[in-house]
């Protein structure tokens, strides 16, 4: 189909672009070369082209391009979902017909399941409501999580939707609606990841990681068996009995001998670390009881704390609530025990009846001294992701607050 060199270059290019697109905007990778490259590709190069067009045509071409760019970035469209589906379909069409006659019945059965899962979960992640907040369901969404008086405070209204912002929600500028427990807007599913579809998104990541790993290992076992047949002295790892050139040459022969299996195996193995990386990062967020949106907010708090602008005081249990903007109780088993604020001058806040909590203000220097209200421990965090509307109560006779203290 393609020559060996073109295939390898194409596979490397696709893997690299997917890597930058996936990881470039992760808060954890801020200030790394990956983020800089992401900025270069998505901000600086387009800006350079715009400046050139301004000088040459008075900005006519960039006018069209900006409208197109705005549509690509700020509107919902299926381009990336199509790209993702195309990679899946083309790889499988290249791989499966050649691999099928070489595998046994049990392997065939597992292949069918592993191939079908990403499509199923992609459909469910795209098609299900991520938790769009409407006037009809706002009360339900307000009852899901209490306000932590740090990242989320009661009484704030979305300027676009003109609705109260429930705790953990965020307005999505692409979907143009507020989303409950908003994680991020994901171009790979052309939708937000939120309270309603976070479990499908996690299963999509898991099944895609399995597909790449399984396809990679199956392809690798076929390739190495073929190379052994041709060069019985060859060993996959460590390279021995031959020079490095001969060793790599044997790999090259194996991939070229059946380019379809060789190229897709290479693509699967190269994308494996990216998909596993994203899956592990998403699971880590579940473990921490947080979302991508909230990690961004926490990183801002971290900077304020390091500069000495953050203050905390306690929030007594059963503090009075303004029933107009906050439900009396939620399904969440715990309420916040603290109020955090920042001040502009680095001095503790002046007494103000609008700021809740009581007692003296203490300056907070580090996130380590702060409780995350939305972290109940790994097990309950997973339940919250996978069982929508779960009412956290007591497990046996053990009150959940005790259980939470113990899991910390």
Which helix (H) or strand (E) segment holds residue 135: the answer is none
* Residue 80 within binding range of Zn ion, rule CB under 5 A: no
Is the CB of 77 or the CB of 230 nearer to Zn ion? Answer: 77
Q: Which stretch binds Zn ion (CB under 5 A): 29-37, 53-61, 169-177, 280-288?
A: 169-177
Instruction: Report how far apart, in Å, the C-alpha atoms of 188 and of each of 191, 192, 214, 221, 321 are.
Output: 8, 10, 21, 30, 40
Which residues in 276-335 contact Zn ion (CB under 5 A)? none
Q: Which stretch binds Zn ion (CB under 5 A): 173-181, 200-208, 380-388, 396-404?
A: 173-181
Q: How far is the CB of 119 from Zn ion (least distance, A)?
A: 22
Q: How far is the CB of 172 from Zn ion (least distance, A)?
A: 3
Question: What is the distance between the terminal CA atoms of the chain, rounded to a whole angstrom?
Answer: 56
Per-residue x/- mask for Zn ion, residues 185 to 214, rule CB under 5 A? x------x----------------------
CB contact at 8 A, 144 and 330: yes
Partnered with residue 157 across adjacent β-strands are 164
Single out the residue of 175, 180, 255, 279 in contact with Zn ion (rule: CB under 5 A).
175
Backbone phi and psi for residue 121, each to the nearest 5 degrees, phi listed first: -75, -30
Is the CB of 133 or the CB of 315 nearer to Zn ion? Answer: 133
Single out the residue of 172, 180, 255, 268 in contact with Zn ion (rule: CB under 5 A).
172
Instruction: Find, among 320, 216, 306, the residue nearest to 268 by Cα.
Output: 216
Is the CB of 62 or the CB of 282 nearer to Zn ion? Answer: 282
- 397 CB neighbour count, 10 Å cutoff: 5
280-313 as b/e: b if 16+ CB within 10 A: ebbbebbebbbbbbbbebbeebeebbeeebbbbb
Q: How far is the CB of 164 from Zn ion (least distance, A)?
A: 10
Which residues in 138-167 contact Zn ion (CB under 5 A)? 158, 160-161
Is the CB of 171 or the CB of 321 nearer to Zn ion? Answer: 171
Which one of 126, 186, 192, 272 is the catalytic residue? Answer: 186
CB contact at 8 A, 231 and 250: yes
Q: How far is the CB of 190 from Zn ion (least distance, A)?
A: 9
Size of interface with Zn ion, in residues (CB under 5 A): 10
Is the CB of 293 or the CB of 381 nearer to Zn ion? Answer: 293
Is the CB of 54 or the CB of 139 nearer to Zn ion? Answer: 139
Q: How far is the CB of 81 from Zn ion (least distance, A)?
A: 13
Residue corresponding to tokens 């006037």: 135
Single out the residue of 174, 259, 355, 367 in contact with Zn ion (rule: CB under 5 A).
174
**Chain Cα centroid distance, residue 93:** 28
- In angstroms, rounded to a whole number, what is the distance separating the alpha carbons of residues 369 and 313? 12
Residue corresponding to tokens 């290249």: 94
Is the CB of 6 or the CB of 160 nearer to Zn ion? Answer: 160
Q: Which token pair is 44?
A: 């600086």
Catalytic residue at 126? no
CB contact at 8 A, 121 and 200: yes
State the DSSP string of 279-323.
HHHHHHHHHHT--HHHHHHHHHHHHHHHTT-EEEEE--TT----T
Return left, alpha or beta for 360; rule: phi > 0 is left, psi -120 to 50 is alpha, else beta.
beta
Q: What is the DSSP letter of 194?
A: -
Q: Which stretch binds Zn ion (CB under 5 A): 147-155, 177-185, 208-216, 327-335?
A: 177-185
Single out the residue of 171, 297, 321, 331 in contact with Zn ion (rule: CB under 5 A).
171
Q: How far is the CB of 26 from Zn ion (least distance, A)?
A: 17
Burial of 225 (0-12, 13-18, 19+ CB in 10 A): exposed
Is the CB of 169 or the CB of 271 nearer to Zn ion? Answer: 169
Q: How far is the CB of 197 from Zn ion (least distance, A)?
A: 11
Q: Which token pair is 2?
A: 């393609």
Q: How far is the CB of 185 from Zn ion (least distance, A)?
A: 3
Per-residue x/- mask for Zn ion, residues 211 to 250, rule CB under 5 A? ----------------------------------------
Binding site for Zn ion (CB under 5 A): 158, 160-161, 171-172, 174-175, 178, 185, 192
Which are the catalytic amino acids? 186
């Amino acid at each position: 189909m393609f020559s060996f060199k073109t295939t390898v270059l194409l596979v490397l290019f696709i893997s690299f672009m997917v890597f930058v697109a996936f990881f470039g905007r992760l808060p954890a990778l801020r200030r790394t070369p990956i983020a800089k490259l992401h900025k270069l590709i998505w901000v600086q190069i387009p800006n350079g082209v715009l400046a050139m067009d301004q000088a040459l045509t008075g900005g006519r071409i960039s006018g069209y391009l900006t409208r197109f760019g705005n549509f690509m970035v700020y509107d919902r469209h299926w381009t990336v979902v199509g790209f993702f589906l195309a990679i899946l379909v083309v790889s499988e069409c290249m791989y499966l017909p050649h691999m099928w006659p070489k595998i046994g019945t049990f392997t065939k059965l597992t292949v069918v399941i592993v191939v079908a899962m990403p499509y199923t979960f992609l459909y469910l992640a795209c098609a299900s409501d991520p938790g769009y907040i409407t006037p009809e369901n706002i009360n339900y969404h307000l009852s899901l999580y209490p306000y932590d008086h740090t990242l989320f405070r009661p009484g704030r209204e979305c300027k676009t939707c003109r609705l109260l912002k429930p705790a953990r929600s965020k307005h999505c500028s692409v979907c143009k609606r507020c989303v409950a427990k908003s994680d991020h807007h994901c171009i790979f599913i052309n939708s937000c990841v939120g309270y309603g579809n976070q479990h499908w998104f996690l299963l999509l990541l898991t099944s895609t990681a399995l597909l790449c790993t399984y396809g990679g290992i199956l392809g690798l076992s076929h390739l190495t068996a073929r190379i052994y047949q041709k060069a019985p002295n060859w060993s996959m790892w460590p390279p021995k009995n031959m020079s490095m050139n001969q060793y790599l040459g044997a790999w090259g022969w194996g991939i070229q001998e059946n380019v379809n299996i060789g190229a897709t195996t290479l693509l699967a193995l190269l994308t494996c670390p990216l998909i596993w990386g994203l899956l592990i990062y998403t699971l880590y967020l579940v473990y921490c009881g947080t979302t991508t949106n909230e990690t961004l907010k926490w990183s801002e708090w971290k900077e304020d704390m390091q500069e000495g602008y953050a203050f905390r005081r306690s929030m007594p249990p059963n503090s009075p609530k303004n029933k107009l903007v906050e439900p009396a109780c939620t399904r969440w088993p715990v309420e916040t025990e603290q109020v955090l604020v920042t001040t502009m001058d680095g001095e503790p806040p002046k007494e103000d009846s609008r700021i809740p909590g009581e007692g003296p203000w203490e300056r907070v220097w580090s996130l380590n001294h702060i409780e995350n209200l939305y972290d109940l421990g790994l097990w309950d965090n997973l339940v919250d992701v996978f069982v929508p509307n779960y009412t956290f109560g007591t497990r046996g006779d053990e009150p959940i607050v005790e259980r939470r203290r113990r899991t910390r």
